[in-house]
Amino acid sequence: MFSPGAGGGRDDSGASRPVLIPMRFVWAYGGRSVYLSGTFTRWSDHIHMSPMEGCPTVFQVICNLAPGYHQFKFIVDGEWRHDELQPFVSGTNGIVNTVFLARESDMIPTIVPQAPGISNMELDDAFLRPDTIPRISDADLKVSRQRISVFLSGQTAYELMPESGKVMTLDINLPVKQAFHLLYEQAIPVAPLLDLCKCQFVGVLSALDFILILRELGNRGSSLTEEELETHSIAAWKEGKVQLNRQIDDRERAVSSHLISAGPYDSLKDVALKILQKNVSTVPIIHSTGQEGSFPELLHLACLSGILKCICRHFRHSYSSLPILQQPICSIPLGSWVPKIGESSGRPFAMLGPNASLGAALSLLLQADVSSIPIVDDNDSLLDIYSRSDITALAKDKAYAQIHLDEVTIQQVLQLGQDSNSPYGFFNGQQRCQMCLSSDPLQKVMERLANPGVRRLVIVEAGSKRVQGIISLGDVFRFLLAS
């Protein structure tokens, strides 16, 4: 975690000297001794980092760096570590964090080096005061949106296709139970459905389907048995879902019964707008020859994170051409925020405690129309996150056949997918809870959301992990593509 300032000038003789930018590096994950090293130290010197006042598990140091591209890592209790919440790449020194410092003229005022007697939290508070937040002009906002729109309009869905990868298609007549296990075993949240008789794709099966299925079976007052899932094919479920959607409370999302797809020559802007307008997470990219009796070809599953990755890749070395990306997220109308005292919230802000039931979590995912829910302690500090795709973890050891939705807790369900010794928020050693600070620039938020599998960032308070808000992929695209 880091925050740049600016510096530079001339020496006493009037000669120009290199412009150096104060850079605050932060390690927020504990340890007894923490050091910083990187390309700016030629990987030979180790810079000692000090615990923050009032927060002994968070270490920081400020270094003056020249503008340009830098790599760095942390040495925590003698072991090389990198911050998984910051941009990182595989380099000659293993996995390293990266940062690009713009020229002084491109920088915006941000956090300055800490003064004696002033805590980091006080600095953050001062930075977030309305009179200190840099505001973007309407003209710069319009230019940023226009350049992104022009880029997306000139690129096709072919740009989303990786050099190698896999896509899985399910036969519409496959038993629901088997499909449930396949999605879990392949670690994918959604799969297109193929009707062999019609020679066409007819829909998708997603984690949301399993949420509705488990809720429907649970509402019958019985445990979720293998037999009940075995006797229902995907085709039968899709037919029954139309009727089920009519019975769902108006606040809950009704799922479209027909396939929403795109072609390989559709522009990225059209694909993004289709995802937003149809309120879906994934759009299959399908190529069809139009010949009778020929099967259409499934090329890719397009999602907003892949489109966002294209934007970040294209503008990586010219971020200064998009002024909006340097704005802190607290200064722009983006995401959902916890209401302040005396304020009313326009939509439910979905948070749950670890002892809430799975049934309550599934209902909240539908009612709030969100992809994931922060799991917080009594102080609203982030512990973990429960996502729609986590529902497939119930296929592990056939857990769905042994539980009642209103009796099993979120904490118990999350433990199904992690080692018994893993802390909250980690899955197979990887951090599940993707976080950001309200002072982070939009550029950093976009780069983090562009990572596969990340659909939402939890905005937390510096030093405490107290939840302040949520930013989703949809939030970012609705803001960037607003007319």
pLDDT digits (tens, 9 = 90+) for 269-291: 999 999 999 888 899 999 887 66
B/e letters for 286-325, b = 16+ CB within 10 Å, e = fewer, are: beeeeeeeeebebbbbbbbbbbbbbbbeebeeebeebbbb
Choose among 392, 43, 328, 353: nearest CA to 186.
392
Q: What is the pLDDT of residue 249?
A: 45
Report which residue type is found at 149: S
Mean of the per-residue pLDDT values of the chain: 78
Asked whether the whole model's pTM tops 0.75, one would answer no
DSSP secondary structure letter of residue 318: -
pLDDT at 404: 81
Residue with tokens 């992809």: 371
Whole-number percent of the chain with pLDDT over 90: 21
CA distances from 460 to 30, 90, 319, 445 (A): 17, 28, 25, 13
User: DSSP letter at 352?
Assistant: B
| Confidence category of residue 86, pLDDT binned at 50, 70, 90 | confident
- The DSSP element (H or E) to which 179 belongs, if any, is helix 176-186
- The lowest-confidence range among 177-181, 217-221, 424-428, 461-465 is 424-428
- Quote the CA–CA distance of 416 and 294 in Å, as a whole number: 43
Q: In terms of pLDDT, which residue wins out, 459 or 115?
A: 459
Question: What local confidence, expressed as pLDDT, does residue 223 receive?
Answer: 47
Contacts of residue 378, defined as CB under 8 A and 6 or more positions apart, other chains included, come to 353
Task: Give the integer Cα–Cα distance in Å for 51 and 448.
Answer: 26
> Where does the pLDDT of residue 111 fall: very low under 50, low under 70, confident under 90, or very high at 90 and above?
very low
Q: How far apart are CA 187 and CA 8, in angstroms?
A: 50
Provide the 10 A C-beta neighbour count for residue 173: 14
Whether pLDDT at 156 is above 90: yes
Produce one character per residue of 436-464: b if its CB has 16 or more CB atoms within 10 Å, e if not: bbbbbbbbbbbbbbbeeebbbbbbbbbbe
Alpha carbon 106 to its chain centroid, in Å, reads 27
Lowest mean pLDDT among 147-151, 163-167, 267-271, 456-460: 163-167
Highest mean pLDDT among 15-29, 99-113, 160-174, 307-321: 307-321
Q: What pLDDT sits at residue 253? A: 45
Q: Tens digit of pLDDT for each residue in 429-454?
A: 345 668 888 888 899 899 999 987 78
pLDDT of residue 334: 87
- Using the 8-state DSSP alphabet, how is residue 399 labeled? G
- Distance (Å, whole) CA 295 – CA 307: 27
User: Is 235's pLDDT higher than 80?
Assistant: yes
- What is the spatial distance between Cα 255 and Cα 209, in angstroms, rounded to a whole number? 9
Q: Is the pLDDT of residue 7 over 90?
A: no
Q: Which tops the pLDDT comparison, 206 or 295?
A: 206
Q: How many CB atoms lie within 10 A of CB 281?
A: 21
Q: How far is CA 14 from CA 10, 104, 478, in A?
A: 5, 19, 49
Residue 347: pLDDT above 80? Answer: no
Q: What's at 172, amino acid-wise?
A: I
- Asked if residue 481 lies in contact with residue 272, where contact means CB atoms within 8 angstroms, the answer is yes
Q: What is the pLDDT of residue 144?
A: 93
The Cα diameter of the chain in Å comes to 86
* CB-based contact 30:57 (threshold 8 Å): yes
Q: What is the pLDDT of residue 110?
A: 33
Quote the pLDDT of residue 293: 56
For position 418, what pLDDT does the model report? Answer: 61
136, 323 in Cβ contact below 8 A?
A: yes
Cβ atoms of residues 45 and 23 within 8 Å: no
DSSP 423: P
> What CA–CA distance (Å, rounded) separates 305 from 291?
33
Instruction: Give the pLDDT of residue 426.
Output: 40
Beta strands at 190-195 and 170-171: parallel, antiparallel or unpaired: parallel
In this predicted structure, which of 142-156, 255-269, 287-301, 449-463 has the lowest mean pLDDT?
287-301
**pLDDT tens track for 358-415:** 989 988 888 888 888 999 998 888 888 898 888 888 887 778 777 788 888 998 888 8
Helix (H) or strand (E) holding 191: strand 190-195
Residue 310: predicted pLDDT: 94
The pLDDT of residue 130 is above 60: no
Look at residue 251 in the predicted model and tell me its pLDDT. Answer: 41
- With 60 as the cut, is the pLDDT of residue 222 above it? no
Least confident window among 258-262, 459-463, 475-479: 459-463
Cross-strand pairs, 71: 98
pLDDT at 146 over 90: yes
Mean pLDDT of 106-129: 36
Q: 235: which strand partners?
A: none
- Choose between 92 and 473: higher pLDDT: 473
